Structure 1
């Protein structure tokens, strides 16, 4: 072989590909060592706990490569899907894409700090012998897995990430088009688009996630010509690393000839050689050592770090954004709740501060969730999982109701976080009910089953509220003229939130004023009503506060009977925190007044939560649980 390093660009890298055990000891002249990490060897079940022996083998290999002065270059290989996942449909199952991303995360956390590069090997060959539906879904999910793995590794701080495609495999043009052009070729769409999973077009935001370089497996020198259309279309401008199998010295020379002739039109930056015999290896080593070696190895930019999640509690007035690492909230940022653009800017700001995309985003807001979207009840703002992903780059996004978050806030609550109104000093394990009179009236619950909590979402604040005493009939009747849309048909039952919240208390106060003959009484805020009720300077406010207290206690008692929350009933939110005087004996009497079930109601554990920022605490607890479940 007559070539030397001086025939190649200064930064051109030469690597040796693993061909047999011990190949990593053949270091003379090589810059890098390329080796596969097989999914089924590290995670025999495809998910769950890794195989300690398999992981240890990979770690020893990396250390040997480093000791020999070479750059470790890992190839994530899923050619063989772990058998347990194959039984679940293999690549036909969309969940396999997530499990593959989890595999890439495991590799990153174990050896990512010692790797020069990582490449995900994407193959179309696995799909070629299947029926049309299986072929389309297998190929699509394999591409989706590559994009998700790329994002997962970047979220941990990894850089120098690539994708590898065999240029002789049928379908390689489809793979290249999908990743680098962000679409399937016309012939593929014409024949197979009907068999792709629902919503496949939206997956291209992940499939076309940018990579730092392209790895190409070349069998014949002419294979490189298949990249020409992409380069001509200016959709492929990343570095290219070529991998070849050289069975003889002449075979190696032919490959090198093709690479050098293509370098003028293609950004080829390196060559990995799998030498089939000692003759080939010695010929290449002689060429590489005939001139001075390149600069010493420099680690890629970025460092591997723990995952972080972005937690948001979007209220009518303020939005709180928290950074969660290993389940612990480490930072909290507060912003005025404004437009969607304001929220997007805040999300991007936190992401840029950390420097990588979050692993997951959870956003809690007031309102019912439909198809991953909330139209916030008390703000002109829409939260959507799609928009959260677009703004942050997170692979997993969750939009939840604010009282789903409130319920999760008491999942790990201790005696230090509560004021006891009735029952045990320490909240016991068991189903838990949360009620929060704030701007609105929120209700949430955690069901306890098989040692863990499961969330229940609902709109309990819009249950019916009716007079408890004859003297209240006129108050409810007067309220019909103030908020007619909130009553249940022509009855005296109205939405509970219309009396039992910061928004509803002024309605209740105005209705009391009408009954007391104060038709033109001054409109007061909930804060002023409660203040004048507490100091006794406004008789209407005193009466409104009593009705508020008794009805809130009664409806909480009713909800408690429905759920039997052994783990406790919890009051949360600003009204409970700032107006403890409301929750005295009158409140307890109303809570416990249950006819034949009075004894059961009196046995309930009843608390006021004293947690600060309970909304974002709960959203973080939800996030931890959701990621375990997924």
Structure 2
């Protein structure tokens, strides 16, 4: 039987998530340039060379978008603020238009009965700070802390929860070692520093927010199930290395003050000097943890690879999304229970992102997306089972409310429960939107 709100604990939050650069239209309202603008302007980095200058024009259409959340019966909205919209140079002079926009946005959520769930950083580093090394520069922790105080002055008194950083693995490893996201580096030294400094910035933000009397503070980490291709010691070690880099690095540092040995095998020679002295700052207690989950990957050893980590991905056999990601709800159950048992105990958990991309088309004014409807129900089933197995799960935010700028995929991949025509900016709720509306009806 399909799950509904009544199958989840009292007070369980249902919502949807977005990110500033992906929907707002960064070309509007006096926002400063970001490293995503320059990354997208470089041939071959983003499909079609597309950027977030217009995106979904949420900057002008935010009231309509908040109405969609309200009309679906959502309890909360997970949104992010853009550092470069608030501080166009990353430091120094404020952008009054940017501050005013977020002020209106939060008031609009509250007027519609939506709890604002605020993410401070969702990947758009101001260009002037990127020029100084961005996440590879230790000073980034102070720069970020200053921005956090500025935006907290503007809206911190009205938000329900605050997350410091979204998906630090993407901020650091995907962007500085694999080079697939801005700033597009493939440099192990840069990656090692970014992997550490992103956590240091998180700790700095937590420290400053606590000093300002804020609570309900957390971070959003992404997890992907790492499965060995076989039972050989080499394949088991390959999966353990991938798991250490992707899944254990950040949560282990925050909760235990250490980094996994399998990841340090590659990163240790390149870590910033004295990194051990930062662990006390990184270990600031969390009030909650956000869990982003989409898929699994299968790993085999690659002894012929010239450099660490000497692993390779092996194709799986499950159905995939438009992104080519296998649909594996069991992985979500694994992480929710694994986190509770090994890292966070009874700390409140939120599934802050989970969703699928699909090649959605409007036909006769409607979008029928049965695969997404099934995806949502199967992952809700994994969440429900995890609650029964002891995970203190308090909410679920579908990714995403709107089709949007999907980073290096440009506007090609559609994750939304609301279709966006990027030429006309017409919003069309999909069948999955209606399903969620019915599912969470009180």
Structure 1: give runs of 5+ residues left out of the alignment: 292-630
Equivalent residues of 1:143, 1:207 under 8 A apart:
yes
Other-structure match for 2:267: 192
Equivalent residues of 1:122, 1:143 under 8 A apart:
no
In the TM superposition, 1:215-230 aligns within 5 A as 215-220=290-295, 221-224=329-332, 225-230=334-339
Question: Relative to structure 1, is the Cα distance of residues 110 and 53 closer, same or farther in structure 2, using a 3 angstrom cutoff?
Answer: same
Matched, 1:73 2:197: no
Other-structure match for 1:123: 168
Secondary structure of residue in 1 paired with 2:355: strand
Other-structure match for 2:104: 60
Q: Which of 204, 208, 227 is equivalent to 1:148?
A: 204
In the TM superposition, 1:454-533 aligns within 5 A as none
Partners of 1:40 and 1:236 in 2: CA distance: 36
Q: TM-score, normalised by structure 2?
A: 0.62
In the TM superposition, 1:217-366 aligns within 5 A as 217-220=292-295, 221-224=329-332, 225-242=334-351, 243-246=353-356, 248-263=372-387, 264-273=389-398, 274-275=400-401, 276-277=416-417, 278=429, 279-289=431-441, 291=442
Deviation at 1:175, TM superposition (A): 1.1
Other-structure match for 2:246: 171
Compare the two structures and name the one with the higher strand fraction. Answer: 1
Other-structure match for 1:211: 286
Per-residue Cα deviation, 1:432-478 (whole angstroms, up to 9, x for no partner): xxxxxxxxxxxxxxxxxxxxxxxxxxxxxxxxxxxxxxxxxxxxxxx
Deviation at 1:118, TM superposition (A): 0.8
Deviation at 1:37, TM superposition (A): 0.8
Partners of 1:86 and 1:78 in 2: CA distance: 15
Deviation at 1:235, TM superposition (A): 4.2
Partners of 1:162 and 1:280 in 2: CA distance: 29
Question: Relative to structure 1, is the Cα distance of residues 95 and 180 closer, same or farther in structure 2, using a 3 angstrom cutoff?
Answer: same
Equivalent residues of 2:337, 2:386 under 8 A apart:
no
Partners of 1:79 and 1:66 in 2: CA distance: 26
Partners of 1:173 and 1:209 in 2: CA distance: 17
Other-structure match for 1:25: 67
Equivalent residues of 1:25, 1:65 under 8 A apart:
no
Deviation at 1:108, TM superposition (A): 0.9
Deviation at 1:236, TM superposition (A): 4.4
Equivalent residues of 1:122, 1:165 under 8 A apart:
yes
Equivalent residues of 2:336, 2:386 under 8 A apart:
no
Question: Relative to structure 1, is the Cα distance of residues 228 and 286 closer, same or farther in structure 2, using a 3 angstrom cutoff?
Answer: closer
Question: Relative to structure 1, is the Cα distance of residues 117 and 106 closer, same or farther in structure 2, using a 3 angstrom cutoff?
Answer: same
Other-structure match for 2:255: 180
In the TM superposition, 1:94-105 aligns within 5 A as 94-105=138-149
Secondary structure of residue in 1 paired with 2:354: strand
Secondary structure of residue in 1 paired with 2:249: helix
Partners of 1:97 and 1:39 in 2: CA distance: 13
Larger Rg: 1
Other-structure match for 1:582: none
Aligned length: 290
Other-structure match for 1:92: 136
Per-residue Cα deviation, 1:125-154 (whole angstroms, up to 9, x for no partner): 233333222111111001000010011111
Per-residue Cα deviation, 1:160-207 (whole angstroms, up to 9, x for no partner): 111001213962321111112221011122321222122111101011
Matched, 1:202 2:277: yes
Deviation at 1:159, TM superposition (A): 0.9
Per-residue Cα deviation, 1:39-72 (whole angstroms, up to 9, x for no partner): 1222121111221121111111111101101111
In the TM superposition, 1:369-408 aligns within 5 A as none
Question: Relative to structure 1, is the Cα distance of residues 173 and 287 closer, same or farther in structure 2, using a 3 angstrom cutoff?
Answer: same
Partners of 1:62 and 1:79 in 2: CA distance: 21
> Per chain length, whose mean CA-contact separation is higher, i.e. which structure has more relative contact order (CA < 8 Å, sep 6+)?
2
Partners of 1:43 and 1:63 in 2: CA distance: 21
Equivalent residues of 1:146, 1:207 under 8 A apart:
yes
Deviation at 1:228, TM superposition (A): 4.5
Other-structure match for 2:323: none
Q: CA RMSD in A?
A: 2.0
Matched, 1:106 2:143: no
Q: TM-score, normalised by structure 1?
A: 0.44
Equivalent residues of 1:181, 1:235 under 8 A apart:
no
Equivalent residues of 2:13, 2:75 under 8 A apart:
yes
Partners of 1:93 and 1:155 in 2: CA distance: 24
Partners of 1:223 and 1:43 in 2: CA distance: 38
Deviation at 1:78, TM superposition (A): 4.6
Deviation at 1:244, TM superposition (A): 1.6
Partners of 1:142 and 1:239 in 2: CA distance: 23
Partners of 1:223 and 1:89 in 2: CA distance: 35
Secondary structure of residue in 2 paired with 1:168: strand
Structure 2: give runs of 5+ residues left out of the alignment: 24-55, 59-63, 179-185, 226-244, 296-328, 358-371, 402-415, 418-428
Partners of 1:150 and 1:68 in 2: CA distance: 29
Equivalent residues of 1:108, 1:158 under 8 A apart:
no
